[in-house]
Amino acid sequence: MIAQLFFLVLLIAGIYPFVKNIKKIIRNIRLGKPINRSDNPSERLRIMLKVAFGQSKMTARPLPALLHFIVYAGFIIINIEVLEILIDGLFGTHRILSFLGGIYSFIIAAFEWLALLVIIACAVFLARRNIARLKRFKGIEMTSWPRSDANYILFFEIVLMSAFLLMNAADFKLQILGTTHYTQAGSFPISNYLTSLLPQRPDFLITTERTFWWLHITGIFAFLNYLPYSKHLHIVIAFPNTYYSNLEPSAKLGNMPVVTNEVKAMLDPSYTPLQLEASRFGAKDVTDLSWKNLMDAYSCTECGRCTSECPANMTGKLLSPRKIMMDTRDRITEIGNNIDQHGKDHVDEKSLLDTYITREEIWACTSCQACINACPINIDPLNIIMELRRYAVMEETKAPTSINNMFSNIENNGAPWKYSPSDRFNWANTNH
């Protein structure tokens, strides 16, 4: 009974802070401007199943795709085993689902093979990051915390899977010895090779089995509460994020209602706009962005595929689409923390533009959409960049000289070039 009460306390202590932190993230996302992404639910469901569940965009890089799928499957499937642990922990039973017989043996065997594959995959990922030092895991935004965060999770996965196999090894040996409470249940194709490392003493084996049982479930609760502070939150939020994907062409620049209203009012003096004015043209801070932009930021896996495909970044320019998303997430998290500490009206004199993202970064973008196409979960850094540009141009009238020249040419010549409209077809009359 003491163990059951302790488990109940552990369960509450594990779930309560996780739910509390997830609510904060949802609150932060809702600080964004409203945008309608509820249309065409069947198409949205198809995209979510294909991109998030099926991981279709990962296949552009086959080896990482295979390794990621193994870890992903391990997270989803092996944690089904947590259901049995929860029941056993609350009711003091042991392998309560063993009544399934052969099905149970198949499930445990599948879990063990998958656990081994997860350990191998995580070891390869660690080697890619820390030994091979792949270029896309570097960058000015990849400071000590982002690099450590990835390593922590991979190491943690190895510990959890190892604890699972060692727990099973001690359990299997206790079954062989006929120890009370450890009845024959399950098939252990991997952990049976670990039994030779364990002594024959039942008391020591029971202690070992219980130790790794508690380590496994405690580690899962710890992992759960680490997620809201980690890039690995994407394993939860990637599903709604892909569901709310943009169904319009990815680089389409939507009209601003306030501008549309002004034009209509100019053309028709009797027109009465529903929206008379906007608080801001474009975006200076994250609260000027849409809630979907903020969900994108929290969904970012920091994998670097967007930056590795960015032509501006390839040519040495400062722009990194991954940094755009990481900066957006850091800024909205900072605003959320300010709300918690000082109230919703607190102003910290910071902004996404200039404090986090420089002008050089936003004007380096060619709007080629390579970052959107490369992202495994349909994140859109381009939309954030375009909103920051809108603010710079429409609110501050600040743009690079080349952009201002283009605006002037459009105003005077009806085209981005400096030539008069009457000279536009002179090339056709040129003798070659």
* Residue 205 and residue 153 share a domain: yes
Helix axes 81-91, 202-226, angle to 10 degrees: 120
Q: Is residue 52 part of a domain?
A: no
Structure tokens at 313: 């970044």
Distance of CA 413 to the CA centre of its chain: 46
Give the tokens for residue 7. 């488990």
> Do both 314 and 184 map to the same domain?
no
Examine residue 50 and state whether it is found in any structural domain, yes or no: no
Q: How far apart are CA 158 and CA 153, in angstroms?
A: 9
| DSSP H helical ranges for 178-249 | 202-226, 234-243
Is 193 in contact with 133 (CB distance < 8 Å)? no
Count the domains in the chain. Answer: 2
Please check whether residues 65 and 121 belong to one and the same domain: yes
Tell me the C-alpha distance between 43 and 37, whole Å.
12
Going by C-alpha positions, the residue among 385, 394, 390, 395 that lies closest to residue 297 is 385
CATH of the domain at 356: 1.10.1060
pLDDT value, residue 237: 94
Per-residue model confidence (pLDDT) at position 278: 56
Q: Which of 243, 266, 301 is the last residue of a domain?
A: 243
For residues 295 and 385, what is the distance between their CA atoms, to the nearest angstrom? 16
CB 214 within 8 A of CB 3: no
360: closest CA among 140, 32, 208, 195? 140
Q: Are 219 and 163 in contact (CB under 8 A)?
A: yes
For residues 208 and 288, membership in a common domain is answered with no
Are 275 and 376 part of one and the same domain?
yes
Is 45 part of any domain?
no
Residue 105 lies in a domain: yes
The predicted structure's pLDDT at residue 234:
92
Alpha helices in 381-422 (DSSP H): 381-390, 401-413
In a domain, 162, yes or no: yes
- Nearest CA among 383, 376, 378, 374 for reference residue 306: 374
Task: State pTM to two decimals.
Answer: 0.89
Let me know whether 274 and 203 are in one domain: no
Residue pLDDT tens, the chain, 432 long? 788 999 999 999 999 999 999 999 999 999 999 999 999 999 999 999 999 999 999 998 999 999 999 998 887 777 778 888 888 899 888 888 888 888 889 988 999 999 999 999 999 999 999 999 999 998 899 999 999 999 999 999 999 999 999 999 999 999 988 888 888 888 899 999 998 888 888 899 999 999 999 998 999 999 999 999 999 999 899 999 999 999 998 878 888 877 887 788 888 878 876 655 556 889 999 999 999 999 999 999 999 999 999 999 999 999 999 999 999 999 999 999 999 999 988 889 899 999 999 999 999 999 999 999 999 999 999 999 999 999 999 999 899 998 999 999 998 888 888 888 888 788 777 665
pLDDT for res 430? 67
Domain for residue 38, yes or no?
Answer: no
Calpha distance 347→425 (Å, rounded): 55
Same domain for 334 and 227? no
Among 192, 217, 243, the domain boundary falls at: 243
Contact between residue 251 and residue 382 where contact means Cβ atoms under 8 Å apart: yes
Same domain, 160 and 73: yes
Pair 301, 189 in one domain: no
* Structural domain boundaries enclosing 276: 257-418
